[in-house]
Amino acid sequence: MLVSIKWLEEILNTNLELKSLHKVANNLGFEIGEQQNLCPGDIVIGRIVKITPHPTLKNLNILEIKTTTHQQIVTSATNVKLNDLVFVVGAGKRFKEQLIGEMDFDGVKSNGMLVSEEELGIAEKSTGVIILDKGREGAHFSDYFDDVVLDIKVNTNRPDLLSVIGLAREFSIGLGIKFSFKERNPKQTNHTDQSLIKILDPDGCPRYTARIFEGVTVFESPFSVKWRLHSMGMNAINNVVDITNINMLLYGQPLHPFDLDLLDLPVIIRKAHKNEQFVTLEGTVFKLDENDLVIADKNGPIALAGIIGARSSQITNSTRRILLESAYFSPSRIAHTRRKLGIQTEASIRFERGADLSMVDEVSRITGEGFKTSAGAKETNYISTGKKTGLKVIPFSLDRMNTILSLNLKSEDVKNLLDKCEIRVSGKNQLKARIPHYRYDLQIEEDIYEEVARIYGYMNIPDIPPARWGVTKLYDKSRNFIKFLKSYMIGLGFSETYNLSLVSSERLESLGYSGFVKLKNPLNERFNALRPTLFLGLLDTVHYNLSKGNYSLKLFEVGNVLLNTEPFEEKKLGAIMGGERYPNFWENTDQKLNYYDAKGVVETILEAMRIKEIEFRNKEIKGFSQAVKIMYSDNEIGYLGAIDSSFCEREFYYFEISIDRTLSLVSEPFYNPPPKFPANIRDLAFLFEEDVEVPVVKNFIAHVAGPILEKVILFDYYKGKNLPEGKKNLGFRLYFKAPDRTLTDEEVDRFVNKIINEVTNNFGAILRTKETN
């Protein structure tokens, strides 16, 4: 936000020092960037007292100009006449770092130059010199127009600072100046024909006002208005448009004037039609869609709401009747269209951040008065429709505020502090803050605490280490656990990645997700939802690496996923792997990572967490050709799968584990002495029906054998050639061990025979022996 110091001084009625402004900005939490001195050189004001044609050179005139002395200047300007006030740079003076010399025009001396708008930089091209509406002969340019412009870095949550009044109000707090600027309140025109305005999209446009003026005269604004707009980074257009822009800069409320004679009423605020065309003031043509908000008449769009007007209804010198728009538009809708079409205007910046709904009517009234004064307009109609805003009240605790800020303020102290920023406080300990209409950033009690700290002065708050509120053992455990998990994954050969938490809703729907959070104000359609899974981010990273020729990848990410149902937010570990099993091995083994490698990683991780007795149960997951859910005691803690070829051209495998769900399952480490007695190991292979799940069989064997069976693992899985159709071979390795003795073969044989009988009877399995192979 550019702001003129001279304009701030006019509002605050005091002289301002740059050093003080920088200090206030730093203390109150915003930044002053670049600053520019607008005085272009040794310019003085002169009055033309004599005009004589050049005796030999056509199109040149010899002017006698009175400043503090009389000067002779030769000019080709055709817009000058006697008694005009002009800007003069005398010979030997500097203009924009250049020394102006005396010149000879066929024997006639010219002792300086007159200044044009083009030379001052306020117009791209000008045909004449600047003619002033007022000034004093001999006065220096700086006496009237010297200024310093500051570039204020306004935080996105402070749209009230996108106005000169808002910045003046803020500076007054830090400078200890009472802010007493009062808007004029002209006589209100009666409401008349309400049918002239129709809001068909109240979500996009909660409030719209229109004023109609007749007898308007359109002409160039005086130099003082042009210079003010130039100092604020805007171009002057004409007196009507310039008044709307001046008031937008002053109050932060964008306005738009339409040539009423070019409209076919009523004015309709609606969604654009699909592929509807819109031609801007500059002649650029855009295709719109149903997500865009337009101001239209019966013939089509006359403005992109809150962004830019159409060429078909612009104000020209022939305009005699005006419809003045002042409205409030949805920030998210303006942001969507602005980003999609790549248009950013002063109006869109303010609407996108959130304009002040309460100022819609007030600024419209003030601007109408400006039309009457400077354009001779007569107001004939005023239409206002839509909702109005009310004051917000936020309750807060004095004790809690003092505890958080490490202060000891009394209620009167807080009232006096917040009164500086027009927040009215009532109560003793349980206080209530009445929020001014322009402070949309203040929503919850913590915002009030921050405001108190800001006005009190961050530098005045005691430097006391904060109490570790909420930092419980659970938090420490979670933080240490994640640190361990990341280190462990790196030890397994994985590389950590960080991906955006924003994804495409269309891609989520293609994976079968429905319970995700969609953004109201997305960057674009590629990033319009919060991720409910880490899968898409890791998959995109894989695609990027594949495009660069990196085919062997093991990547992981630890991050939060967001849901629209409880628990709403969950921390997860996601990992993706594929390519060669030994990519850096000197011998070309040509072994590829497969599903069982990924499954082994999952088992290794969970074993490192000391989470045992997990199961893998088959599950159909969209986007995966083969998948299982990872279960612990009938609770799903994650899933694992082979990514479908429609999502990834190469064979890759993905797993995702809930850190929040597994954290409570992690047991404390304990010492387990090495076994004194050897295990008795037996291998059993069975022929099962194809739909029998491995975890079910493993759990069944463990149950039948009892505590004497230390563990059972699957060492062989086969289906296909040489096996009956619909059958598969599963080989299990059984570890029998007793803590107090070495088991005999006879003891183990009894358990093995029992297992064989129970498995064959309950699953219809066939024991595979050398004879049956």
Segments making up each domain of the chain, as ranges: 2-38+147-175, 44-145, 194-386, 392-460, 473-663, 680-767
Token pair listed for 499 = 């991906």
Decide the pairing of beta strands 197-199 and 267-271. parallel
Predicted pLDDT at 669: 65
With H, G, I as helix, E, B as strand and everything else as coil, classify residue 365: helix
CATH placement of domain 680-767: 3.30.70.380
Which CATH entry fits the domain spanning 473-663: 3.30.930.10, 3.40.50.720, 3.30.365.10, 3.40.50.450? 3.30.930.10
With H, G, I as helix, E, B as strand and everything else as coil, classify residue 86: strand
Nearest by Cα to 541 from 560, 554, 532: 554
What is the spatial distance between Cα 326 and Cα 639, in angstroms, rounded to a whole number? Answer: 54
Q: Where are the beta strands (DSSP E) in 115-162?
A: 131-132, 148-153
Query: Which residues are paired to 87 by β-bridges?
Result: 45
Predicted pLDDT at 470: 45
Look at domain 44-145 and name its CATH class: mainly beta
Q: Is 723 within 8 Å of 695 (Cβ atoms)?
A: no
Please indicate whether the domains covering 44-145 and 680-767 agree at the CATH topology level.
Answer: no
CATH placement of domain 392-460: 3.30.56.10
Helix (H) or strand (E) holding 113: strand 112-114
Predicted pLDDT at 557: 97
Alpha-helical (H) ranges within 93-217 are 117-120, 141-145, 164-175
Query: Which residues are paired to 689 by β-bridges?
Result: 727
CATH placement of domain 2-38+147-175: 3.30.56.10
Answer yes or no: is 725 a known binding residue: no
With H, G, I as helix, E, B as strand and everything else as coil, classify residue 458: helix
What is the spatial distance between Cα 616 and Cα 411, in angstroms, rounded to a whole number? Answer: 61
Answer yes or no: is 450 a known binding residue: yes
CATH placement of domain 194-386: 3.50.40.10
Q: Is the dihedral of CA 454, 458, 464, 469 positive or negative?
A: positive
Answer yes or no: is 441 a known binding residue: yes
Nearest by Cα to 184 from 368, 344, 321: 368
What is the spatial distance between Cα 460 and Cα 100, in angstroms, rounded to a whole number? Answer: 53
What global pTM score does this model have? Answer: 0.71
How many residues are recorded in the chain? 773
Predicted pLDDT at 465: 66
Query: Which residues of the chain are modeled with pLDDT < 70?
Result: 182-193, 465-476, 567, 586-589, 667-672, 770-773
Q: Is 355 within 8 Å of 175 (Cβ atoms)?
A: no
Q: Is the dihedral of CA 739, 745, 751, 756 positive or negative?
A: positive
Predicted pLDDT at 68: 87
What is the spatial distance between Cα 773 and Cα 767, in angstroms, rounded to a whole number? Answer: 10
Q: How many CB atoms lie within 10 A of CB 499?
A: 18
Answer yes or no: is 17 a known binding residue: no
Q: Is 501 within 8 Å of 559 (Cβ atoms)?
A: yes
Give phi and psi for 219, each to the nearest 5: -155, 180
